Amino acid sequence: MNAIIPHKNLKAREKKIIIEANQKLYRRSSRKEKTIILNELENITGYSRKYIIHLLNVHNRVIKRCGKLVIKADIKRSLVSRRGRKRVYNERISRVLFKIWRIAGGISSKHLKVFIEENYDTLWRYSTLRETTLEERELIKRVSHATIDRLLRPYREEYKGESIPFPLRKRRKKSAHLVKGQIDIEIWKEKMPKRPGYIEIDLVEHNGGSSKGEFIYTLCGVDVKTYWVFLRPLKNKARVWTVEAIESIINSAPFLVYHIHSDNGSEFINSHLLEYCKTRRIKFTRSREHISNDNPHVENRNMVVVRRYVGYSRYDTHKELEILKQLYYYIELRHNFFIPTMRLSSKQKIGKKYKRFYQTKTPYRRVLEDPETPEFIKETLIEFKKNLDIVKINKTIVKLYNLLEKVHKNKEALYYEKS
């Protein structure tokens, strides 16, 4: 009968002293004797067999030479050789990733991963990234989104709250403003477009908190299949401007528009737009009353591509309208060609919860990969993107953003002087 060893009462340091005392004996022992020693040490310490072998093999081994200084492993002080994979991504890779992250606008790691893949060939021409070596570029190309999160964590904490690469407006709760309509209803569950051309549209007010008088609106349109975004500023809510903006969207889209879906606003639910859609052979549907989830894609884009750039101020002058037209053009270029979006591809029920799987791509890439898109349009888009520069686009957005702020503040100052 073997004696019971209460190894739980021994401290880690005491266990390692016992292992250290048996190291010399273990090394000069035969195979059978080593087995006996390991069995006894396993009973005494409670450690796993493999860990005991590791400690016996590594103690007093040279792990580093610094000139005349020789550092040996000591299991009592946890100074042992490191196991596992060596570090691949160093501090320099982290800094390069941070620069790319700033260029992309501080997007999430999953979006940034796709952003790097989409723009890999053109990224390195920017002045801040030219010194990156070929080896570093290859490492950045294959980095996972989880590793991006880990490498960027200290930088994100340092730059938390700052404008990257330009200031975005703070989020604000959106109030619903839906009215009755007379057009066929289509709920969100029925939206399963097999090809691009299903456009959700919505109107965003720029009234500064007061609906009195005339002010500028933004007509936001989103293709449900590709997330291609369209932005058109309107002088006011008149039907003539709404129909004109929708016609502009249809004519500029890189695909055939066959379906338009809106909320219950009077700017859409009227005989003018209904007649226009019938003439163009476009199906026209609306959401249920007071259920904004029937128009989910454009409701999301209202915040991302309109409010966060333009904010909630009141815009009602011709000069502001012209600036918005230019600003929206560059915002469209940025989000359609460079910024990836996440689209739900499938979901799986596990117990009481659902696990969702997303497809992260740019709208530009989705259009190219769609089999319905004609080849000449794909070639045109590819050639068009070759001439685009996201850094210049970002700078132009900043310039127009500041110009809009300046014009708006001058207008308010003049108003207060008169009053």
Is the pLDDT confidence value at 82 over 60? no
Lowest-pLDDT range, 75-84, 241-250, 284-293, 380-389?
75-84
Torsion angle, alpha carbons of 315, 316, 318, 321, to 10: 40
Q: What integer pLDDT is reported at residue 402 of this predicted model? A: 93
Lowest-pLDDT range, 169-178, 222-231, 325-334?
169-178
Average pLDDT over residues 268-273: 81
Amino acid making up residue 350: I
Q: Which two tokens stand for residue 234?
A: 């309107």
The residue ranking higher by pLDDT, 271 or 315, is: 315
Confidence of residue 8 (pLDDT cuts 50, 70, 90): low
For the chain, give the mean pLDDT: 83
Q: What integer pLDDT is reported at residue 189 of this predicted model? A: 66
- Dist CA 114 CA 102 (whole Å): 15
DSSP code string of 178-247: -----S-B--GGG---SSS-EEEEEEEE-BTT--SS---EEEEEEETTT--EEEEEESSS-HHHHHHHHH
Write down the pTM of the prediction.
0.69
Confidence of residue 181 (pLDDT cuts 50, 70, 90): very low
Share of the chain above pLDDT 90, in %: 35
Angle at the Cα of 83 from the Cα atoms of 79 and 89, rounded to 5 degrees:
110
Q: Which two tokens stand for residue 17?
A: 């002293």
Confidence of residue 6 (pLDDT cuts 50, 70, 90): low
The residue ranking higher by pLDDT, 219 or 186, is: 219
- Dist CA 189 CA 355 (whole Å): 18
Share of the chain above pLDDT 70, in %: 84
Per the listing, tokens 């528009």 go with 257
- CB 115 within 8 Å of CB 338: yes
Q: What integer pLDDT is reported at residue 180 of this predicted model? A: 42
Q: Where are the domains of the chain?
A: 7-77, 91-158, 188-418
- Dist CA 360 CA 346 (whole Å): 13
Q: What integer pLDDT is reported at residue 175 of this predicted model? A: 37
Q: Tell me which residue of 331, 312, 267 sits closest to 408, measured CA to CA.
A: 312
Q: What integer pLDDT is reported at residue 218 of this predicted model? A: 94
- Dist CA 88 CA 16 (whole Å): 32
Confidence of residue 395 (pLDDT cuts 50, 70, 90): very high
- Dist CA 302 CA 315 (whole Å): 17
The residue ranking higher by pLDDT, 69 or 306, is: 306
Compute the chain's Rg from CA coordinates: 31
Per the listing, tokens 């037209």 go with 325
Q: Which two tokens stand for residue 45?
A: 């310490």
Return the top range by mean pLDDT from 93-97, 154-158, 411-415: 93-97
User: pLDDT digit string (tens) for 329-339?
Assistant: 999 999 999 99
Lowest-pLDDT range, 58-62, 257-261, 274-278, 334-338?
58-62
The listed CATH number (1.10.10.10, 3.50.50.60, 3.40.50.720, 3.30.420.10) that belongs to domain 188-418: 3.30.420.10
User: pLDDT digit string (tens) for 119-159?
Assistant: 988 888 888 888 888 889 998 999 999 999 999 988 877 77
